Structure 1
């Protein structure tokens, strides 16, 4: 240990040099190093008495041969040195502890990113995408509330009746408690044979689809935008994908996504409409319902149950409708259609704009058809007195009128089924018919209420007729069911015909019925055993948008299907080619007559 000490000189020093150098050496400090024995004794005493008093310092100075000031300074320096050592040790300890805690925090932060639920294997903590998803939903909700606050009386009808969908449901005799919507035993019947895990997945998918449907019906911008082509509402893809991210089911470049939204009023109570939507045996309890008193929601979504079957060309994303009873015998309905589809290669070129433009199966088509069918159904259930264009003729009773409408409805349903007949024939020599646009299909007719034999789908020529009875099915005079008698009667045959027209198109469907069978229908007898073979016409827009000032204009598409009973024997593979040629000629001539009547003979 070094100790600094200053000593005063008592006399002059011998040696060479001048007086100035002697004075300089007098002011210099002299340093003394303690011996090892002195240091050991001082340290030993320091351990017991780090702060010695005056007497202890004097005793040490006598024992060690040191000055009292030297003892004092040594203890001061020793205490400072000890304090510095302790501070360094504490700092090193705190630094090591801080580093350990920092490493633990980093490890815990990494572990939080990967933590998952052991039962569902999903992340328990929200990631950045979940946070953005939640933030976007809050922004959409705030925008909706601001829109309602700024335009309380000018809000669209769709928004007005679906806003209450998220309120607490009230118990009433016409509804089902939302907490017990899945407890009906019918759901067990619908999903019998499935494992519990598969059932749970289906119920979870249906519940998620319902939540999405309610959100799609409630939110407007930025989720829904107006189409630049026809002004219809369509989903904004970026906003939708952020709110409801889903995988793409089709990898083909020709695949497309269709989305549409429409609302309208139908002339039917909500409960009656709901019963028509949900078959009580198969589908009633498969859909969650009752979002509010007298308000129902029906959701439709694809679920891949049959994973081993051939892939579908259409995948329905959460779609459906919201039904609101207005209390005056009418119902407000909002409809959403949202599908992924890959059928462009299968669609006929004439119908491509109609089908691919979301006109054939969009929300507006569903609403318009629903309005038309509800109007028909209510008139069928209503009193005899109808619109002024109604002509009852040979039908005198209310029961007979309803029976005729039921038979006509079965005729229309059979006609729609006929349009789905396959056109794959095992007769290569008939292939030249396809070049002219004529499709020939055959099927064996052996079902209940159908004539027995081989049926051809072709066109027929017209014949002058007279309407002997007409039952109205709508306010428009073109919506009616008619019983028609040819001016030249043949084998006591009459014609049952139903015509329907709405804002998107129309149809005329007819079938020959024997006079005795018409009489039995009017008398109220069973209609299911009456053989009926419908033919008809379906009219729709071509799906194109006309441009003002250009030569291109909107047109119409006419689909004609005719059925003819060829024979009542078993199906034969030997076809009479002369008959086929005659039928083909009849088809071509009839189509040409229609074109001439519409002043468009040059259309392909």
Structure 2
């Protein structure tokens, strides 16, 4: 009998309250609740199916019902749910019964007509041979492994993966009967975990390693999700700096060291940041899972990146369940900070509609040539939680957690790394926000107006100039960071201690002039705020105070492309003003400036006028030769103060009165010889060293910090 909880029996008794024998049958009165009352009662039932007397009284007052009506409704609703559950359980039991009956019939038929697997004739019953016994044992072991992999694949893909085909296979021999009939092919989910897709880059990971990687991915995703949403028990607020500090005791309690045991002798950093990004979750997930788009999104943070292997490309044409091995070098734009080499697993999972998560975790322990004692950096579960918001925005919570060897880091940058501002969540999220804002601005044609005399009005011209500026920035970053691709040499002689010099030969690259190119870079600390330093260096009217290419006078902006709401995010084309009428210049300066909360960049390169006319007309920018120079600025405040140097050369401790400032990296690239076979001379090195020293001194003088 079906019980309708929407109908309350006013006079009839319930099995919980009355005995039918004590109450003679009488005509029952019914009261049907309103839809609003039923909706409210259903919501309350989900929270508390067994309300007490006080709760029933409160509900009756809120819904204008009698307490007896409330009590009877909840009794009827519980009875209805119990009936539904029993009906569902009966259906499952019937299915199991049918399955067992079908298997029993199959076994009975096979026992009646045993077939010899060798000759195909009737089998002769007798004792089982040793070989057959071993095969049965091995078959049982393989079936157990298959069941384990299918269970793992079910967790990985978010849906059940059957260990047997949907249509029962008739056993081919009595040996198959012994283990229930092994399928001739693995289910699709298990096949992905064991063998990977056909498009895998290496295909050199065996099935056991793939199952280990899948288990590591699931555990890391769980850890990331909890760390992104944890409260103050795990992340301790820092009221002075407005940031958070990871509570390592609570972290070790929640996440046992069996997953990510801490390595002795390595420094640890953990940061978390939340912000709004002008892109949707699907686009951001696709960017993170595509190694080329990921590197383009973070050009100043990633010097190298490569896809090692694709273990799973996702399910149903989406990135849900995508699992891949990747390699990357993470950089700080300074020759004084070694790049971080990481070999990691990236796993993407959709948790709900419009809610995605992407987690990274190092897997160097699987590589025989990378023992733990020699690892430069290991990423513990890190990544981002992405949630769609209105108007095309996404809420992104970024978590970075790493262990690294800081012995090769220069003293100027150790406090920056310890604070988490160099490789932490704030820098990743701020860079992502700036890049997404730039893409949104560039897609809006309303930024180009006829009233702007410096605007490039043709779309092809803007795209060509932006591609050229991006290549200039990439070349600058490659010539500044201490990547494993480049080797920095600390030369002896009349060279400053912290100046790093390297050379490369350009022969067939159309984007560089042929010959020997010299790159030189250094980093200094200045007691000036990052914003003030950035505004000074990007202002074309003040360029003559530090740039020898300005011919001693101010520069004029000939073209301008905005790349964000902040005026400091733009690409410009500058022209040097001649000091007298007899001077003329056939040279322009292409400049790109970008800034966010984590740092700023000013990059420029001289270009000839005919080449820029081609670019601004929509021509191909890769054939324009560039030798970029510029500046990278990182904040270095009270919570992130370096060991400065006094005139005697001794380090000043953390109690130094210098409580704020900026870390400035200055870098130049010059062509020292047009012949690729030429060798570097001492004069060339001293020339570029003097150029760097002179530029730094001019900047200090202009900002009145000569004693820094």
Alignment TM class, shorter chain as reference: 0.5 to 0.7
Contact kept, 8 Å, 2:456 with 2:561, in 1: the verdict is no
Deviations 1:102-130 (A, max 9, x none): xxxxxxxxxxxxxxxx99x9xxxxxxxxx
Q: Which residue of 1 aligns with 2:501?
A: 440
Q: Which residue of 2 aligns with 1:144?
A: none
Q: Which residue of 2 aligns with 1:467?
A: 557
Contact kept, 8 Å, 1:387 with 1:475, in 2: the verdict is no
Q: Which residue of 2 aligns with 1:19?
A: none
Distance (whole Å) between structure 2 residues aligned to residue 586 and residue 410 of structure 1 = 24
Bigger Rg, structure 1 or 2: 1
Distance (whole Å) between structure 2 residues aligned to residue 601 and residue 196 of structure 1 = 63
Contact kept, 8 Å, 1:354 with 1:544, in 2: the verdict is no
Contact kept, 8 Å, 1:479 with 1:499, in 2: the verdict is yes
- What displacement does 1:269 show? 2.4
- Choose which of 497, 503, 517 in structure 1 pairs with 2:611: 517
- Choose which of 458, 475, 479 in structure 1 pairs with 2:569: 479
Contact kept, 8 Å, 2:449 with 2:455, in 1: the verdict is no
The question of 1:368 aligning with 2:430 is answered: yes
Matches within 5 A, 1:193-592: 193-227=204-238, 230-246=241-257, 248=261, 250-252=263-265, 255-279=266-290, 282=307, 285=322, 286=324, 287-304=347-364, 305-309=366-370, 311-343=374-406, 345-385=407-447, 391=452, 393=454, 395-421=456-482, 422=486, 424-425=488-489, 430-435=492-497, 437-446=498-507, 447=509, 449-458=511-520, 461-463=548-550, 464-488=554-578, 492-545=586-639, 551-573=657-679, 575-592=680-697
Pick closer, same or farther for the CA change 1:181–1:386 going to 2, 3 Å: farther
Moved more, 369-378 or 308-317: 308-317
Unmatched 5+ stretches in structure 2? 1-140, 145-155, 160-188, 293-306, 314-321, 325-346, 522-546, 642-654
Pick closer, same or farther for the CA change 1:532–1:585 going to 2, 3 Å: closer
**Could you state the TM-score of these two structures normalised by the residue count of structure 1?**
0.64
Pick closer, same or farther for the CA change 1:314–1:403 going to 2, 3 Å: same
- What displacement does 1:248 show? 4.2
Matches within 5 A, 1:57-96: none
Between the two proteins, the alignment pairs up a number of residues equal to 425
Pick closer, same or farther for the CA change 1:512–1:546 going to 2, 3 Å: closer
Pick closer, same or farther for the CA change 1:581–1:381 going to 2, 3 Å: same
Distance (whole Å) between structure 1 residues aligned to residue 677 and residue 263 of structure 2 = 40
Unmatched 5+ stretches in structure 1? 1-117, 122-165, 170-178
- What displacement does 1:482 show? 0.3
- What displacement does 1:391 show? 4.5
Contact kept, 8 Å, 2:441 with 2:447, in 1: the verdict is no
Contact kept, 8 Å, 2:419 with 2:640, in 1: the verdict is no
Contact kept, 8 Å, 1:510 with 1:534, in 2: the verdict is yes
Pick closer, same or farther for the CA change 1:190–1:240 going to 2, 3 Å: farther
Distance (whole Å) between structure 1 residues aligned to residue 392 and residue 191 of structure 2 = 26
Distance (whole Å) between structure 2 residues aligned to residue 594 and residue 474 of structure 1 = 27
Moved more, 473-482 or 195-204: 195-204
Contact kept, 8 Å, 1:207 with 1:288, in 2: the verdict is no
Contact kept, 8 Å, 2:415 with 2:640, in 1: the verdict is no
- What displacement does 1:327 show? 3.2
Distance (whole Å) between structure 2 residues aligned to residue 181 and residue 590 of structure 1 = 60
Q: Which residue of 1 aligns with 2:106?
A: none
- What displacement does 1:280 show? 7.0
- What displacement does 1:432 show? 4.5
Deviations 1:513-536 (A, max 9, x none): 222222222222333333322211
- CA-atom RMSD in angstroms: 3.4
Distance (whole Å) between structure 1 residues aligned to residue 191 and residue 662 of structure 2 = 45
Contact kept, 8 Å, 1:546 with 1:552, in 2: the verdict is no
Contact kept, 8 Å, 1:433 with 1:439, in 2: the verdict is no
Distance (whole Å) between structure 2 residues aligned to residue 511 and residue 431 of structure 1 = 29
- What displacement does 1:233 show? 1.8
Distance (whole Å) between structure 2 residues aligned to residue 207 and residue 339 of structure 1 = 19
**Could you state the TM-score of these two structures normalised by the residue count of structure 2?**
0.55
